[in-house]
């Protein structure tokens, strides 16, 4: 029971704390509402869960043998996060048909997790903590717990964004919010680039 609680606590801490995916979700919640953000939430949750399973059930050994893979993924991931930040910062606020093109999609949520340095750190550290070479059931429990905790945590960010937009009823305030969130995302990517690549 204590192991399951530890898995839950780890999953919640890594899922609920701010990161690139959470910033995209809260921005989408403000821009498009809760329901229209759920496909991105679903893609991000499934993408992360599959990444966790892939690392836990074999990819971990490959990373151990070829650590430069993580550096390559960090560079590609930071570049993609910067792209998402640009999309948010430049998202139109006046025309619905144009704004539709800025709506984060399921595949973008999925891809962002596979290119998200924070997701890789969470997966590698989680596998190291909760897997055993002699017992795969603990890793399976961890993956299942993480799926539900991740989905609820990301949905909570979408819900928060949906509620925040009640206070952003003007086009100017919404544009300022999008610009601020996009810049935060770009700064986050720059920090991740420094810590995972230049700081390595």
The string of pLDDT tens digits covering residues 164-188 is: 887 777 777 777 888 888 888 888 7
> Rounded distance, CA 160 to CA 164, Å?
6
Q: Where does the pLDDT of residue 64 fall: very low under 50, low under 70, confident under 90, or very high at 90 and above?
A: low
Against a cut of 0.75, is the pTM above it?
yes
pLDDT in tens, 119-176: 887 888 888 788 776 667 888 899 999 999 999 999 999 999 999 887 777 777 777 8
| Boundaries of every domain in the chain | 2-198
Share above pLDDT 90 across residues of the chain, in percent, rounded to a whole number: 24
Question: Looking at residues 25-45, what average pLDDT do you find?
Answer: 93
């Amino acid at each position: 029971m204590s192991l399951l609680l530890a898995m839950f606590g780890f999953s919640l801490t890594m899922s609920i704390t701010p990161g690139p995916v959470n910033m995209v979700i809260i921005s989408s919640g403000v821009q498009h509402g809760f329901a229209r953000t759920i496909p991105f939430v679903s893609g991000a949750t499934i993408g992360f869960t599959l990444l966790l399973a892939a690392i836990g059930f074999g990819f971990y050994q490959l990373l151990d043998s070829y650590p430069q893979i993580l550096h390559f993924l960090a560079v590609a991931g930071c570049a993609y996060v910067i792209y998402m930040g640009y999309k948010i910062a430049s998202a139109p606020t006046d025309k619905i048909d144009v704004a539709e093109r800025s709506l984060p999609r399921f595949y973008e949520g999925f891809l962002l997790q596979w290119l998200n340095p924070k997701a890789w750190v969470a997966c590698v550290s989680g596998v190291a903590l909760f897997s055993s070479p002699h017992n795969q059931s603990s890793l399976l429990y961890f993956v299942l717990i993480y799926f539900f905790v991740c989905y609820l945590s990301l949905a909570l960010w979408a819900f928060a964004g949906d509620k925040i937009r009640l206070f952003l009823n003007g086009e100017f305030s919404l544009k300022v919010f999008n610009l601020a969130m996009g810049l935060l995302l770009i700064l986050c990517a720059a920090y991740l680039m420094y810590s995972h690549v230049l700081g390595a």
